[in-house]
Structure 1
Amino acid sequence: MISNRSVRFGARALALVGVALSLPACATITRGSSQEFTVTSEPPGARVSTSNGFQCDATPCTFRMPRKDEFRATVSMDGYAAQTFDIKSGISGGGAAGLAGNVIFGGIVGGVVDASSGALNDLTPNPLVVTLRTPAEQARWDAEQAEIARQAAAASAATGRPN
């Protein structure tokens, strides 16, 4: 004869298995495979175009972008130097939590689904905040950045350690 204790244990085990099987691809379900990507500029009203075909005529603007796709965003405005930025896709804190949930409850299948959909990733930087510069301001800024890089390289060479 089967005891009540065995029946309760079996019911709990079956419920746990049911929950585990319903959770594969946690991040895909909870975070989705796309996210909002926002671009702002100073001054506002700049044009934005991305290497994956998205455009807007005047910042600030927000696009719905695939989490797994890296791309370039170019921000331009008449009278200002255009600036291009590399937008990266990488595992985020929320994606790592989803992956941990898959390892614990969903197993390999959920992890594979989340990784292939990009749900584990976030785009960075996001938001992209751009300060546009006139061509003269951009030339000065570029020269300052080159000098900073030169000083860092000299310090690295003097100490024998990379920065």
Structure 2
Amino acid sequence: MDSIRMEKFHARKRKQFVPSLLHYFVTLLFLALFLSSPLWLPRVSSCLLSLASVSGTKCLVLLCNIVVVFLVRTSESKTSQPSPTDIYEEYMNRKVNNERQDEWRSEKRTEEEEDSEEEEEEEEVSEIDKKAEDFIARINWQRKLEERRLLSYGYG
């Protein structure tokens, strides 16, 4: 990696440290609230019921909508995605690296295939020559044997 990319990497890490720390703190806070819910939940539910009976269902719907809006905004802020230019740069770098590797592999394969094809052709030719020479030698040997038999039996 060059120095610019390293600086970008370290800057991202520094920027991500505080939100991640805040995220863990909020998670811990909600866990503590959940575990202590038997202490405060009955009071809150009775207050909400009394509020709903006093002001009607419109207030309860409004309160629920406020909670939904709050949750949606916090979820949008937490889904921080890298900028499109960073994604594009990373994509292009991977693509260039893959193309280089593919070219290198294909060149290496073609060289190996050419070498192996030449070796195979040479081996095939030498095997065929050897088989042909063995066959001719066997035929000549058989002819000599037959000639000796004929001479030994007196047919010649």
Does TM, normalized by the shorter one, top 0.5?
no
TM class, shorter-length: under 0.3
**When you count strand as a share of all residues, which structure comes out higher?**
1
TM-score by length of 1: 0.24
Does 1 or 2 have the higher relative contact order (CA < 8 Å, sep 6+)? 1
TM normalised by structure 2 equals: 0.25
